[in-house]
């Protein structure tokens, strides 16, 4: 969640509270975590990322801890998502019924997000019943995102969110990465705040599938 600009006297207290929450959950916040080599390579069709997004060279990244599974809220029980992706196509979550969908909120400045991208990409490629979509929760130009993905390619579609108006069917991220697992029925099976890997996602799928398979009394 993009922090507001509180009065100077309140900034130290709010900063300490946010830092404690982020470190506890193992997620990264832009004020805490530097980018991991996010400067795009110079190409003829892409421009370098704005200097304002650069991180101090001596800053230390937050420790990446396993994602914490969160209770599913009623408001996000069956979320809707229809959004334009950076390749000019439209991604519609409703069209993915019958498959497991991993909805991953991330950012180019978030080191844990970048670290989990290759595994999410492999999961998307190697599992026919699972697909991934990446939602970039940051202010970034299309050319900068395209240049970034040339250095960090993934197999799944990427969309850039409007941070002032993110998808209302999902909680506004309190930290990144934030990941939702959507079941074949379109309902949220699990959500995670913090880094997640293929093992955790497949374990969540197995758990959810087992619950569905158990006959009700």
CATH number, domain of 174, equals 3.40.30.10
Task: Provide the domain limits for residue 140.
Answer: 8-213
Look at residue 48 and tell me whether its pLDDT is greater than 70: no
Q: What are phi and psi for residue 19, nearest 5 degrees?
A: -60, -40
Angle between helices 111-126 and 198-213 (to 10 degrees): 50
Residue 180 included in any domain: yes
Residue 2 included in any domain: no
Residue 65 included in any domain: yes
More confident residue, 217 or 146: 146
| C-alpha to C-alpha distance for 165 and 153, rounded to whole angstroms | 26
Which range of 14-18, 48-52, 173-177 scores highest in mean pLDDT? It is 173-177
Number of domains in the chain: 1
When pLDDT is averaged across residues 188-198 and rounded to a whole number, the result is: 95
More confident residue, 44 or 107: 107
When pLDDT is averaged across residues 77-90 and rounded to a whole number, the result is: 96
| C-alpha to C-alpha distance for 105 and 28, rounded to whole angstroms | 12
Contacts of 101 (CB under 8 A, 6+ apart): 93, 130, 131, 132, 133, 181, 182
Look at residue 3 and tell me whether its pLDDT is greater than 70: no
Residue 3 included in any domain: no
Residue 133 included in any domain: yes
Look at residue 103 and tell me whether its pLDDT is greater than 80: yes
Lowest-pLDDT range of 16-25, 27-36, 168-177:
16-25
When pLDDT is averaged across residues 97-115 and rounded to a whole number, the result is: 98
Q: What distances in angstroms separate CA 1 from CA 34, 36, 105, 182, one per listed residue? A: 16, 20, 11, 22
| C-alpha to C-alpha distance for 155 and 176, rounded to whole angstroms | 20
More confident residue, 27 or 151: 151
When pLDDT is averaged across residues 155-180 and rounded to a whole number, the result is: 95
Residue 1 included in any domain: no
Q: Give pTM, 2 decimals.
A: 0.69
Residue 63: predicted pLDDT = 42
Residue 57: predicted pLDDT = 37
Look at residue 165 and tell me whether its pLDDT is greater than 60: yes
Tokens, residue 176? 């990144």
Tokens, residue 200? 């955790």
- N- to C-terminal Cα separation, the chain: 42
Residue 27: predicted pLDDT = 73
Residue 143 included in any domain: yes
Contact indicator for 63, 143 with CB cutoff of 8 Å: no
Under DSSP, the state recorded for 191 is: E
Pick the closest to residue 125 from 83, 167, 156, 160 (CA basis): 156
Tokens, residue 120? 């999410």
| C-alpha to C-alpha distance for 135 and 6, rounded to whole angstroms | 27
Residue 40: predicted pLDDT = 42
| C-alpha to C-alpha distance for 107 and 36, rounded to whole angstroms | 11
Kindly provide the b/e burial profile for residues 189-212, where b requires at least 16 CB atoms within 10 angstroms of the residue's own CB: bbbbbbbbebebbeebbeebeeee
């Amino acid at each position: 969640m993009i922090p507001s600009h509180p009065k100077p006297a309140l900034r130290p207290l709010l900063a300490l509270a946010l830092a404690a929450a982020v470190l506890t959950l193992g997620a990264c916040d832009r004020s805490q975590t530097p980018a991991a080599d996010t400067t795009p390579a110079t190409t003829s069709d892409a421009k370098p990322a704005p200097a304002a997004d650069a991180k101090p060279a001596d800053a230390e990244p937050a420790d990446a801890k396993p994602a914490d599974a969160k209770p599913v809220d009623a408001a996000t029980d069956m979320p809707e998502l229809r959004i334009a992706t950076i390749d000019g196509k439209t991604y519609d979550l409703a069209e993915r019924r019958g498959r497991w969908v991993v909805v991953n909120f991330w950012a180019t400045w978030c080191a844990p997000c970048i670290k989990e991208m290759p595994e999410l990409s492999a999961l998307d490629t190697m599992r026919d019943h699972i697909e991934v979509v990446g939602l970039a929760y940051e202010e970034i130009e299309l050319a900068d995102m395209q240049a970034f993905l040339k250095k960090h390619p993934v197999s799944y579609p990427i969309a850039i969110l409007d941070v002032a108006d993110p998808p209302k069917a999902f909680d506004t991220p309190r930290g990144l990465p934030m990941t939702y697992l959507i079941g074949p029925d379109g309902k949220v099976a699990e959500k995670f705040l913090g880094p997640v890997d293929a093992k955790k996602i497949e374990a969540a799928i197995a758990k959810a599938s087992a619950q569905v398979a158990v006959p009700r009394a």
